[in-house]
Structure formats: C-alpha cells, structure tokens
Chains A and B, each alone.
Chain A
Amino acid sequence: MKEMLYWQALNQALDAEMAADETVFILGEDVGLFGGTYRVTEGLMAKYGEWRVRDTPISENSFTGLGIGAAMLGLRPVVEIMTLNFALLAMDALVNMAAKIPFMSGGQFSMPLTLRMPGGVAKQLGAQHSQRLESILMNVPGLRIVVPATPQDAYWQLRQAIRSNDPVVVLEHELLYFTQGRVDEGAMAPAIHQAVTRRSGEHLTCIAYSRMVQLALQAAETLAKENISMDVIDLRSLSPIDWDTCAHSLEKTHHCLIVEEDCRFAGAGAEIAATLQERCFFLLDAPIQRLGGLDLPTPFNRNLESASIPRTEDILTAARQLVNPG
C-alpha cells in the first residue's frame, strides 16, 4: 500500500502492464521524451525504448487508427490523446473503426485498444479545452468507457483496460491528476465496470462519477450534520453501467440524485435517470433529479466557469429539496 498521486498511479499501471506483456505499447503526442503532458508516461521511454513509447506527429485520426490496425494484429496499444478535445479529430477511428471492426468481421478480430484522454473543466482553459465527451461516446455500441475517480481506480482500471479485448476509453479528469490517495497494488480489483458505494446512507442515493464523486462526498459530510444520510455511488464505468448497484441503493433510499459535470441536456444523467425510472419506478418516492453542467460552452471567466458546472453547494441544495420538499 502506497500513497500516490493519480498520475503516478496511471504511470505505475502502465509500467506494470508493459513489464508483464511485451505486446503493450504506448503512442501519442509528447508521451516519450517529454514524458506526457500530465507526466503519466514519465520515464517509460527510457525504460522501454522508442518502439514501445512512440512520440507521434499531430495526426489524431491516423495514430488512433494506427492503434486499431496494430490491435488487429494482436498488439495492445495504449493511445494517449493529449486532451479529449482533440479526440474529436479521431472520431472516425474510434466510432467507425474501433467500435465496429470486431462486429463487422463477424467476430474474427478483437480490438485490445486502450484510449486514454484527459478532459473535463479544469482552470480557465476556455471553451475548446474544457469539454466532456462521455455522452457522445456512450451512444456508440462497442466502446467501453471508464471514469476512474481515485488513484486506486486509475491504477486498477487502466490495467484492466489494457487487458481487455474490447476497445476501452479511459476518461481521466484534468483536476484529478494531482489528487492523492492510497494505492494497493496487490489488492484484488472489482470488475472493470462495477460501481462502488463510497459512502453509505439511508435517505437518498447520489450517483456520480469522476471528479463529481469528490463533490458528492463533501456534500454527504455536510448533510450528515443535518441528519440527512446520503448513499454515494461512484459509477466507475459509463459503458456498460452497473445498474444493479444503483437499483439496490434505491431499494433502501427511494430517492435519487444524479450528478454529472457534462452538459445536462442528453447527458449521461439522462440515460441513467431514464433507465432507473424504468426499472425502479415503484421504489421511488420522488422524481429522479439531475444536476449537470449548463448547456453552454464553458466560459473563460473564472466565476462563470465555476458556476457552469455543479458545485458542492448545488448538490447540498438539490439533496435537501429532494428529501424535504416544500
């Protein structure tokens, strides 16, 4: 068991998989000599050489496609897209190739591709560099999407992603890279798509993922002082989603609040709410509530930026309203 930063956990996961399996290689912009924009690939080129840690030109669609072709021949590429905003230029590779080749070939080819990308609203990066794409990717059958919120999950889920024969998108949050946590490299991991309960409560269920889990836990702390006890579920995976863990919690709390950073309209929360109400309608004492980012490109201004996505106060207000309406 070690204390480490989120980026270090990712670095350890890459190192462990590269040491264990010669077919694992990394490619992306500035992943080699420079060590990665968020230091995630630091030291790996020196250790494994340039064929296993490949610096690429700025050609997202083609180097993502390179990963796909290599995966068809049995290598296990880990493609880093510098930030997920640039993944929009690789959408053809991701959506039309990675997600479809195994299927279109009638199951002849597997696709052991991992695609890592930092994203989310960070600190005043402007509208083009402050995005989330999860809902767009969730609508693509054939991709798995994981959203680790802690260093331990970053470690586990990246290793699992590399071992998966499905294409897995690892959405890393830019504000989580320098958060700290315990990583037990020897502990057994939950399944890659399994949700976990981060805190148990009786009165309402808060379903969150990635950085929003931190905010939900802070809110739960405050609510506890008001005798509102909130179950906090960290989804960990957005495709597939572990519906059972969510439903079991609703059997206990009968109230549900979903918190996401992505734009609320047609966001991940919309899918979660729709499916849970289909499945758990008669368990619910109130309509499922969603908190999400405003349907607005992220403003540059600091105050407006932070007001455009859910804050801890917003979770508190929504939770109080949900359990004590009126």
Chain B
Amino acid sequence: MDRMNLSAMLRDMLLARAFEEAAAEEYSRGNISGFLHLYPGEEAVAVGVLHAAEPGDYIISTYREHVHALVRGIPARQIMAELFGKKPGICGGMGGSMHLFDSTRRFLGGYAIVGETFPIALGAAYAITYRHLPEAVICFFGDGAVNQGTFHESLNMASLWKLPILFVCENNRYQIGTEIHRHSAVVEVYKRACAYAIPAEKVDGMDVLAVHDAARHALESIRSGDGPQLLELETYRYRGHSMADPGSYRPGSELLAYQAHDPIATAIQLSQSPYPSLEDIRSAGPDCLDQLTDHCSNNELLDEETLTRMKQEVQKIVEDALAFAQASEEPGMQDAWDAFLCNRRFETLMKSPT
C-alpha cells in the first residue's frame, strides 16, 4: 500500500470533480457545446492508474478523457480552453473535448470512435519494444469497447509479440443506455483476457489505493518486458453518458448505492483514520515502520483544515482555467490550415530536378 501518494491522489480527485462540474455548468451556459462526456464517480480509476505511470509511459484514452489529461499534468487552463474551442487550447481548438493530445506529456489522444484506443496502444508499444526501452503504454477503454473487433485483434497481437501495454477497462456497466448484461455475454471483462493468455485482474474501481496498487504492480512487470496485462476496474458514472443524456434509464437506487461508495469520500476516509490497523501494518511486510511513518505524516497532511485548503485550492485552479478559457482568442482559418499542413513544413522528400 502506497500511502505516500494519498494526499496527491486525493487532490487530483478533488480537482477532477471540480473541473468536470465546472465544465457541466459552462455547457449549460452555452460556452461549451458539442458532445461533453464527464467523469464524476470514476475519478479513482484515472487517478489511481496515472499516479502509477512514469513520465516515460504513454497514455491513450477515449472521449471521456479530461481527467486523464489533467492527472497527466496538462494544465487545467489548456484543457478548458480546448473545451471552449479556443486558440490556446492544448490542440489549438482543432480537437475539442473528445480529442485532447499532448505530445510532450506522451498523451497520445482521446479517441471518439469506440475501440480505437487499442490499435494506437499496439503501435506505441511496438515502437517501445522496437527501441528496447523500459516504457509502458496505458490504454483506457470502456466496458462497451470490448465487443469491438479491435479489442480482440489487438489483445491477440499484444500478447503474441509481448508488447508493453496495460489495458485498463473502465467498467461503468453502461454503454450509453445499454446495461452490461444486455450488451455482453460475459460481463466480467477480465475473463476475456485469458483467451489471449493475458494476465488480468478485477479491482474495485471506487478505491483509489486498490487501483493504484494494482496498476503499479502491473506496470512494473510490463516495463520489465513481461508482456501485456489487463485491469478491469469496476466503477460508475454519476451523470448521464454525455451532457445530452439525462441517464433516466438507470434506477435511482443504483446511483445512490454507488454514491454511498463515492471514491472521493473513500479516499478522504482512508486518509483520516488515525492509525493503520494492526492488520495493515502486518500486511505491509518488513517495511512496516516506514509505512507507519508515512501514514502518520499523511494524517498530519490530511486533517480537516488541510482538506478544506485543498478544496479551495482546486476550486481556484478551476476558476482560473475558466477565466482563461473565456478570455482566450478564437483560432482563425489560417490556424486550421497550419495544423492540417503540419507534416509538410519540414518535408524532406527526394530532391526534385525542377
């Protein structure tokens, strides 16, 4: 158990929730339009996994990727400006909510066609192995994406060539309005991985520590060349599929049941328990003293006062991002052409005689 990171993870989860709620509000005001898929309820997934990522790892996500981008370190300003379609957005206003990219942070994009993240991950991982580097690719996807052909094609190739990929299924039990029992013959996604001889595990996606632990172990083994792994993280989205969806197909009791295990509340609770249980100390192994020290210092970090300060701090970041996005200029058509022709600027083809 890695409690050192707990407060950093908690902060990112708070930031994620505040960012997404602010985006929802801007959508209602008409400042953001188009498809807007939000993440509240699922924070422990992106935060737990990406806190286990190294700067050298690559990340690929879906259209529901603002939080992955935030946790990866893309400034909230640049993400919000992209949602507004503005010029200083991370993609200059050419990508939008569903297509965030950041080459310097190795964020290989948000993809809006279900099932596309698999082949991109395959290619990135192929390049890593080709160059004999100790890096990994983290590939996010939903429970709905596992019935797409690319899931099966890509798992096969990843396993066949032992590519360094962590497949992360964000199982929120819905593909838009279709519940998992109505879209999948086998509802436990991790079981599908055995068809391709890929080690897989199911983890509580509402518990950020459990997610983080599982991801860290998997990534260490993947980076050392042991081949791909798959994590199925059971989670839930509190909102509809997108802002255009009221989510009325889900029983209210279901939402309440998941909210009772809210990942942020859980993380706060974890960080506030005064002492670890004896069981925790024993299970931490020989390093239990370190664990205890970490834990105690964590507690100091995370008293009520710190928590309040943390909430204020993330609120400020979000408000700053909103003000920045509002004030930013729109891109012009020339910016679109520049982005489109980006590959021709430094073209070094063979020389032409004329």
Contact = CB atoms under 8 A, between A and B. Distances in A.
B150 A61 contact: yes
B122 A69 contact: yes
B102 A108 contact: yes
Nearest to A189: B350
Interface stretch (A91-99, A128-136, A202-210, A250-258): A91-99
Interface stretch (B33-41, B87-95, B243-251, B272-280): B87-95
A124 interface: no
Contact of A190 (B153, B157, B352): B352
Contact of A188 (B94, B128, B157, B352): B352
B323 interface: no
A109 B343 CA distance: 8
A56 B119 CA distance: 13
Interface of A: 25, 51, 54, 56-57, 59, 61-75, 77, 92-93, 96-97, 101-112, 141-142, 156, 159-160, 163-166, 188-192, 194
B123 A106 contact: no
Nearest to B343: A165
Nearest to A141: B340
Q: Give the interface residue-count category, chain B.
A: 35 or more
Contacts, number: 176
Contact of B339 (A68, A93, A107, A166): A107
Contact of A69 (B103, B120, B153, B354): B120
A105 B103 contact: yes
Nearest to A160: B349
Interface stretch (B108-116, B171-179, B223-231, B287-295): B108-116
25 contacts: A54-B161, A57-B153, A57-B156, A59-B157, A62-B118, A62-B149, A66-B126, A67-B123, A69-B123, A70-B124, A70-B127, A72-B123, A73-B58, A93-B119, A102-B342, A103-B94, A105-B91, A106-B90, A107-B92, A107-B339, A166-B343, A188-B351, A189-B349, A191-B349, A192-B349
Contacts of A104: 91, 94-95, 99, 101, 109
B349 A66 contact: no
Nearest to B149: A61
Nearest to A162: B349
A190 B353 contact: yes
Given A75-B130, A104-B94, A160-B349, A65 B122 contact: yes
Contacts of A105: 91, 94-95, 99, 101, 103, 109, 339
A74 B99 CA distance: 20
Given A68-B120, A105-B103, A105-B339, 19 more contacts: A25-B130, A62-B157, A69-B119, A70-B130, A72-B108, A102-B339, A102-B340, A103-B339, A105-B91, A107-B92, A108-B103, A109-B103, A159-B350, A160-B349, A163-B349, A165-B343, A166-B347, A190-B352, A192-B349
